[in-house]
Amino acid sequence: MRNSSRSAVDPFIVMDVMEAARRSEEAGRRIIHMEVGQPGTGAPKGAAEALAKSLETDALGYTVALGLPALRQRIARLYGEWYGVDLNPERVVITPGSSGGFLLAFTALFDSGDRVGIGAPGYPSYRQILRALGLVPVDLPTAPENRLQPVPADFAGLDLAGLMVASPANPTGTMLDHAAMGALIEAAQAQGASFISDEIYHGIEYEAKAVTALELTDECYVINSFSKYFSMTGWRVGWMVVPEDQVRVVERIAQNMFICAPHASQVAALAALDCDAELQANLDVYKANRKLMLERLPKAGFTRIAPPDGAFYVYADVSDLTDDSRAFAAEILEQAGVAVTPGLDFDPVRGAGTLRFSYARATADIEEGLDRLEAFMKARG
């Protein structure tokens, strides 16, 4: 059968690394996972308990398309708690993960052929989802002096219909402060481009609190998720905050695309919002891991790294060591038994000279991974 040209999206290279790691494990080898972008922990206990209780009494059928009203209200309250922002719960849309939010946002905001700016390096699925929807992703190569975040000069005159940013970002963990975020919003709006802010790593911050675009403007889409801080990747539940006059547009699309986000996950998510003690304990593990990574990666020979402000990744420039990050990652897996992600996933051009290390797992694993990386680099000479 014939395929659409829209369907010709690239694979997620990290999945190939994960498959190679799985094969090694099947053959009896212990692999340290520094490739996966998800917490090693499960959903908070209170979330699982709330779901178990509701399973006894509730049929858990469809919810309304915008999501459980109690969850929308609780998320609105979170904006008061985290940022001091007073948010109307009517603007909150519950989505099947932030991935579902991207589909809704891109469909609601853009017409076929529209050009949407994304920072490079950046989360690979932005590019692929845009392509699959018949939109044109425009890579904005970011500069090290801007900590690999876009600045207005990167998209001046590019005639964009949209600009997508992430703070903290994947793969770098760098953040946009008030001034940087404000400058991007202003420049995007001056160009008539819709501003979309991916805030999925909020809550996982080390030095300063992350800034939400909603502190600066109501004229934006904010996308977030229960996958990272709330440690619920497989539950497929996230949310979006949209301007009041966009709610009905998004609701109509959500009704038709998804009907609703998984009801069981919405019940669990509502309880997860009150599990801060457990989630802060997870954060303490990331903090300890980050410290180890920043101390020991340079000692191992990965010297060109920038301290991440948030998320659980270190992005390393390894262009002095290789011009083929894919082959280098395969070599590290083969020789050291450590799975890492080639930068090509995040930046199709400069990613040939970069790697992403994830430190989302238990501290003992991170220590062992660093031991192995150190020994590997020493042997490589």
Ligand X SMILES: Cc1ncc(COP(=O)(O)O)c(C=O)c1O
Binding residues for ligand X, rule: CB under 6 A, are 37, 97-99, 123, 166, 170, 198, 200, 225, 227, 233, 238
Say which residues have a Cβ less than 8 Å from residue 261's Cβ, sequence separation at least 6. 63, 67, 94, 95, 96, 100, 236, 237, 238
CB of 190 to ligand X, least distance (A): 26
CB of 225 to ligand X, least distance (A): 3
Helix or strand or coil: residue 200?
coil
- Burial classification of residue 51, based on how many CB atoms lie within 10 Å of its CB (0-12 exposed, 13-18 middle, 19 or more buried): buried
CB of 40 to ligand X, least distance (A): 14
DSSP string, 236-299: --EEEE--GGGHHHHHHHHHHHTSSS-HHHHHHHHHHTT-HHHHHHHHHHHHHHHHHHHHHHHH
What the block records as the tokens of 178 is: 């008030």
Helix or strand or coil: residue 141?
strand
Match 């340290």 to its residue by tokens. Answer: 32
The type of residue at 325 is S
CB of 339 to ligand X, least distance (A): 16
Comparing CB distances to ligand X, the nearer of 105 and 293 is 105
Q: How many residues does the chain have?
A: 381
Q: Put the strands of the sheet holding 354-358 in their side by side order.
A: 313-317, 354-358, 341-342
Comparing CB distances to ligand X, the nearer of 79 and 239 is 239
Comparing CB distances to ligand X, the nearer of 200 and 275 is 200
What the block records as the tokens of 301 is: 């020979």
CB of 176 to ligand X, least distance (A): 13
Comparing CB distances to ligand X, the nearer of 75 and 200 is 200
CB of 97 to ligand X, least distance (A): 3
Comparing CB distances to ligand X, the nearer of 173 and 337 is 173
Comparing CB distances to ligand X, the nearer of 98 and 191 is 98
Comparing CB distances to ligand X, the nearer of 200 and 336 is 200
Distances (CA, A) of 270 to 43, 70, 73, 261, 262: 12, 8, 10, 13, 13
Q: Say which DSSP state 39 is in.
A: -
Comparing CB distances to ligand X, the nearer of 24 and 233 is 233
Distances (CA, A) of 190 to 21, 110, 141, 152: 47, 17, 21, 11
CB of 230 to ligand X, least distance (A): 10
Cα Rg for the chain, rounded, in angstroms? Answer: 21
CB of 233 to ligand X, least distance (A): 5
